[in-house]
Chain A
Amino acid sequence: MSAAVAVRDLTRRFGSFTAVDRVSFEVATGEIFGFLGPNGAGKTTTLKMLTGLLPPTAGTATVAGLDVARDAVALRARIGYMSQRFSLYGDLTVGENLELFAGLYGVQGERLAHRRGWALQMAGLQGQEDRMTADLPLGWKQRLALGCAVLHEPKLLFLDEPTSGVDPMARRAFWDLIYELAAEGTTVLVSTHYMEEAEYCHRLLLMHRGRIIAQGQPAALRALMTEPIYALRTDHAPRAVEALQHTEGVLETALFGRDLHVVLDPEHGDPERVTAALQAAGHPVRAIERVEPSLEDVFVALVRREGGVVSG
């Protein structure tokens, strides 16, 4: 079975600035594929190229069997796209927005009635067709926007930071919807800067400054981090961070909630030395245990390996 999306050395430059740098990957049908990375990593630019909105500077991409550069127009009829900024019209009602998008995608008649009803139900907006879209809370708007993007039942769905700015509870509800769509066979490509949402994806791309720094299933990505991480509980955690700055074998110290997460060098790192150092500095360690790295830890470790400081 050929891949739903196949990308080879995709590149996009804006003048002297390279936003996306030779990116290559494949997405299988029915997969939830995530693009993870901070703002400015190149996620949006990549998605815009895959949806035919932005021509690539170099490289190729095939989406649903079509070449994104040559068949951009035909492509749009086959896919669903939700852009990063809110894409519905605030001064139209919920119902009017649904009708508009149905019209744009050529969904008519009985099919329209059926899909409209489905979208309203999915977004939890039945009975609210006459409500002004601008008045809806952000979480609801995003669900409605998702509904509008899939009225024509596309086989491929591209979502650009759909949960940005939405509170954690509404974010979960949104991901449930994505799951339902994927379960029905839709391939979903979604970008996010919330690292914990990576867990909801089948496979991921970690991006940083236009390049892929890692690809694979969440579990596999976590395994990429060979450096052990220990979670410590101590008083005055922020000061404790300072105390560990120059301890041998410690690669990184970061606050994680109220705990300290300490990343040790796999060869020279020693948890006992860490405990001793903290004790000496007046921060007795109340608890210490080895923990699984979070994707944020993985991200930071990979960037560090590249020799990069993220800023700039």
Chain B
Amino acid sequence: MSPDAIISLAALTRRFGAVTAVDALTLQVRAGELFGIVGPDGAGKTTTLRMLAGVLPPSAGDARIAGVAVGRDPEGVKPFIAYMAQRFGLYEDLTVRENIEFYADLYRVPRGERPARLERLYAFSNLGEFQHRLAGALSGGMKQKLALCCSLIHHPRILLLDEPTFGVDPISRRDLWLILHEMVAEGVTIVVSTSYLDEAERCDRVALLHQGRMLALEVPAVLQASMAGRLFAVTSEQPRRARDLLRAHAAVLRAVLFGDALHVVASPGTGAAELGTIAGVRSVRPIEASLEDVFIHLVDEASAREAAA
């Protein structure tokens, strides 16, 4: 284990009957890192986070968080971590303030420090004027901000967040991320799973999970650079027809609709001009791969490998 790794997974595994949800996952997270976990449904993101939070015991392997083996001693990690479940996990029939105070009690936050901490959290989240509103009456974005406040009241060293911005309106999503960046700046380690790949791009490193296994673990920029020169944005009057034609082309590995354009992955050495000759294509332009492009590519390759096996 590297010296500044604060979280270390060693062959962490979880089975549910015949299904292996997380398959011998091994990785390390550095202190103060913003670490992203992405992957399609069923990839094992939630299961991994639940094991790290100590609410689900591993079937095999273990993870060390700040020196504590969470599989053997789940209660040992809880005082200095915070976990935000994917489903809203707070009490809808309690007010904003009651929820936060409850969590302050659970983490034994000294009474003297509470007013200052509450002030700061209210400032971050704009929940101050709603502190006496029942949590159930809040909008989705505000609920998530409340959940985040409850997670932060005890100044955890590590945050484990399971899709914290899922379904949240764009503005609240931005607010939430500003809070997270503030936390990182203060030295908090954050492990966050997300299905929004633009959020993943912001992380220091990203792990791509697929069917319980890790397909990639890398700095986003490096991942994106790995497809340099092979990705093109192609526009056409009839995108779907163009897509089918492109897919039939020998040099094209993949053609996927991205909004109103097509992202085409070509075999190395293929030029834009060559793609431009396909019927219906209006323009071809080489582009930098987004994380989504990279992941689609990696997941496809993994699926093809499995099918062949």
Which residues of A line the B interface, CB within 8 A?
37-41, 137-139, 164-170, 172, 175-176, 179, 193, 195-196, 199-200, 218, 237-239, 241, 254-258, 296, 299-300, 303, 309-312
Contact = CB atoms under 8 A, between A and B. Distances in A.
A168 B169 contact: no
Given A193-B167, A238-B184, A256-B198, 7 more contacts: A137-B42, A139-B40, A164-B167, A167-B195, A255-B181, A257-B290, A258-B202
Contact of A199 (B175, B201, B221, B259): B259
Given A238-B185, A311-B126, A311-B142, A172 B256 contact: yes
B58 interface: no
B10 interface: no
B257 interface: yes
B181 A238 contact: yes
Contact of B221 (A138, A258, A311): A258
7 contacts: A139-B40, A164-B167, A167-B43, A193-B167, A257-B198, A300-B171, A303-B171
A181 to B, nearest CB: 13
Nearest to B300: A169
A257 B221 CA distance: 11
Contact of B178 (A193, A241, A311): A241
B4 interface: no
Contacts of A237: 202
A254 B292 CA distance: 20
A170 B40 contact: yes
A167 B39 contact: yes
A216 to B, nearest CB: 15
B260 A311 contact: no
B226 to A, nearest CB: 16
Contacts, number: 109
A81 to B, nearest CB: 21
A310 B175 CA distance: 11
A258 B220 contact: yes
B45 to A, nearest CB: 10
Looking at chain B's contact residues, the main secondary structure is helix
Contacts of B197: 168
Given A257-B201, A311-B172, A38 B42 contact: no
A255 B184 CA distance: 15
B260 A199 contact: yes
B202 A175 contact: no
Given A193-B167, A238-B178, A296-B170, A312 B139 contact: yes
Contact of A38 (B167, B175, B177): B167
Closest 4 CB pairs of A and B: A38-B169, A238-B181, A167-B40, A199-B259
A37 B171 CA distance: 11
A166 B41 contact: yes
B299 interface: yes
A183 to B, nearest CB: 9
Q: Which of A37, A176, A257, A309 has the most CB of B within 10 A?
A: A257
Contacts of A165: 41, 166, 195
B156 interface: no
Nearest to B171: A310
Contacts of B39: 167
Contacts of A168: 40, 195, 197, 292, 295-296
Contacts of B42: 137-138
B141 A169 contact: no
A232 B11 CA distance: 40
B240 interface: yes
A237 B43 CA distance: 30
B168 interface: yes
Contact of A312 (B142, B181, B185, B299): B142
B202 A38 contact: no
A130 B201 CA distance: 41
A279 B290 CA distance: 27
A168 B194 CA distance: 11
B41 A170 contact: yes
A40 B170 contact: no
Contacts of A137: 41-42
B185 A239 contact: yes
Given A137-B42, A170-B40, A193-B167, A311 B198 contact: no
A172 B255 CA distance: 12
Contacts of B181: 238, 255
Contact of A167 (B41, B139, B142, B220): B41
Contacts of B182: 238
B198 A310 contact: no
Contacts of B291: 257
- Most chain A CB within a 10 A radius of its CB, from B181, B221, B256, B290: B181
A179 B240 CA distance: 9
Contacts of B170: 38, 195, 296, 299-300, 310
Contact of B141 (A176, A218, A303, A311): A311
A37 B167 CA distance: 10
Given A137-B41, A311-B139, A311-B141, A38 B168 contact: yes
B140 interface: yes
